[in-house]
Amino acid sequence: MEQKKNPLGELPVGQLLLKFAVPSIIAMLVAALYNIVDQFFIGRSIGELGNAATNVAFPLTTSCISLALMFGVGGAASFNLSMGRGEKDKAVWYMGNAAAMLFLCGTALMIAVRTFLRPMLIFFGAPENVLGYAMTYTGITSLGFPFLILSSGGANLVRADGSPRYSMLCNLTGAIVNTILDPLFIFGFDMGMAGAALATILGQIVSATMIAVYLSRCKTVRLSLKNIVPRFTYVRRIAALGAASFFNQMAMMIVQIALNKSLTYYGAQSVYGPAIPLACAGIVTKVNQVFFSVIIGISQGLQPIVSFNYGARKYDRARGAYFLAVRAGFCLSLCAFLLFQIFPSQLMGIFGRGSQEYIDFGVNYFRIFLFFTFLNFLQPISSNLFTAIGKPQKGAFLSLTRQILFLLPLVILLPRFMGIDGIMYAAPIADFTAAAVAALMVRQEMKLMRAQAQ
């Protein structure tokens, strides 16, 4: 009887999707805002070399997010599972150990990056004329890694404790601080790349401080100093539950590094040189990240709706919620596609001026690399569908199709025959193939759901 009264099984799926997706979309957009704001002001002050430098450093941001998800998502899941079983004494250890590992991993990564900064950036694809800017920017932002990882991962712990609004407020506050300080430091104090980096870490410190204050006075448990001392039993369980998210982000980082190195190598053999392709790719990636944040938010909002109704054997509602998310994703993706195809030069202009070659490459990169944007909603939403119905292996496979199975090999192979143009054409081929695989897998799953409903 209680199950029938649960709003997930009774309210219109459109109303539910809106309720669950909007907070997730906002959280994802705030995360994307950090990168966009830096890119905007750096492009306006430094130009294409500054934009290239932030793109070289981007894999390190991805590595931070991967660690944040491992111990944030894993810690939140472990905490909620223990609370659900009535094991409050274990739950408090999961909460404390997860928070401690977030900060400790951030500290370890900061030390590693600062120790091997120059060779690491060269390995990431930084050409000589970009290396100095990248070292300045990354040398400072690396100091914020413990705070970035704690604020990003800790937000999951705060949500798990029942405070999603405060979790969103933490990240939003940090982004606002960064947005205010960026122009002040870059233009007001004439600090250039160093100013952008300093504004970024100050925003992260504010967010992390808000997270730490909350964790010291959680709603459902009370953390003590002993709970933040890592214990292998708890850390292993947390890492196991967060491993899928960790490896997904690491796969993205591998592709980013391969892409940067290919852009630098084949760019040097073209009329564009090594820096222009790096700079343009960084802009396109971060603009696309804003669009993709909305799609990911929709997919995350879909998950609890599908999970409950699938578990309650209300397969028609589960299918209806998925197709509603797909329709919303398609409409947004079509708008993004039109924007990228019609206004690429205007989008490039937002992030500063450059040479004619810079504009030409950026326009081509927008139009070719993101040609199948109108299909890119299908893979993440479908991947989350499989996770939501308790088939994580299919979801994990689908989440890796575009980046690892298709894009990475194409980025390596196509430029050998087509030069730098091969890199641009690798993405639409990967996008189309990943969407086709998603469509085939979902079609089969929908047949199973219809059969189960009879």
Helix (H, G, I), strand (E, B) or coil at 391: coil
Angstrom distance (rounded) from CA 408 to CA 406: 6
DSSP state of 435: H
Q: Quickly list H helices, 85-127.
A: 88-115, 117-123
Summarize pLDDT for 98-115 with one digit per residue, the tens. Answer: 999 999 999 999 999 999
- The whole-number average pLDDT for the span 414-429 is 94
pLDDT of residue 392: 67
Summarize pLDDT for 35-52 with one digit per residue, the tens. Answer: 777 778 887 888 778 878
406/253: higher pLDDT: 406
- The whole-number average pLDDT for the span 390-417 is 86
Angstrom distance (rounded) from CA 365 to CA 422: 11
Angstrom distance (rounded) from CA 62 to CA 253: 6
pLDDT of residue 6: 61
Largest CA distance in the chain: 69
111/250: higher pLDDT: 111
Summarize pLDDT for 154-206 with one digit per residue, the tens. Answer: 988 887 787 777 888 888 898 889 889 999 999 888 888 899 999 999 999 99
Q: How far is CA 425 from the centre of its chain?
A: 23
Asked if the model's pLDDT at residue 378 lies above 60, the reply is: yes
Looking at every residue in the chain, the average pLDDT score rounds to 86
Contact 146, 103 (CB under 8 A): yes
Tokens 């939003």 locate to 172
What pTM did the predictor assign? 0.77
Helix (H, G, I), strand (E, B) or coil at 11: coil
Retrieve residue 114's tokens: 């600062």
Contact 293, 31 (CB under 8 A): yes
Question: CB-based contacts of 69: which residues, under 8 Å, 6+ apart?
Answer: 152, 153, 156, 242, 245, 246, 249
Q: How far is CA 101 from the centre of its chain?
A: 20
Angstrom distance (rounded) from CA 67 to CA 76: 14
Angstrom distance (rounded) from CA 130 to CA 395: 38
Retrieve residue 292's tokens: 């993709």
pLDDT of residue 368: 96
pLDDT of residue 166: 87
Burial class (CB in 10 A: 0-12, 13-18, 19+), 302: buried
Contact 212, 174 (CB under 8 A): no
Percentage of the chain surpassing pLDDT 90? 38
pLDDT of residue 2: 41
End-to-end CA distance of the chain: 22
414/257: higher pLDDT: 414
H or E stretch at 195: helix 192-215
Tokens 């970009």 locate to 130
Contact 325, 299 (CB under 8 A): yes
Asked if the model's pLDDT at residue 142 lies above 80, the reply is: yes
Summarize pLDDT for 130-139 with one digit per residue, the tens. Answer: 899 999 999 9
Q: Which of 41-50, 225-234, 284-293, 362-371 has the highest mean pLDDT?
A: 362-371
Contact 363, 344 (CB under 8 A): yes
Asked if the model's pLDDT at residue 339 lies above 90, the reply is: yes
Closest C-alpha to 238, from 9, 67, 434, 420: 67
Percentage of the chain surpassing pLDDT 70? 96
- The whole-number average pLDDT for the span 107-130 is 92
pLDDT of residue 217: 87
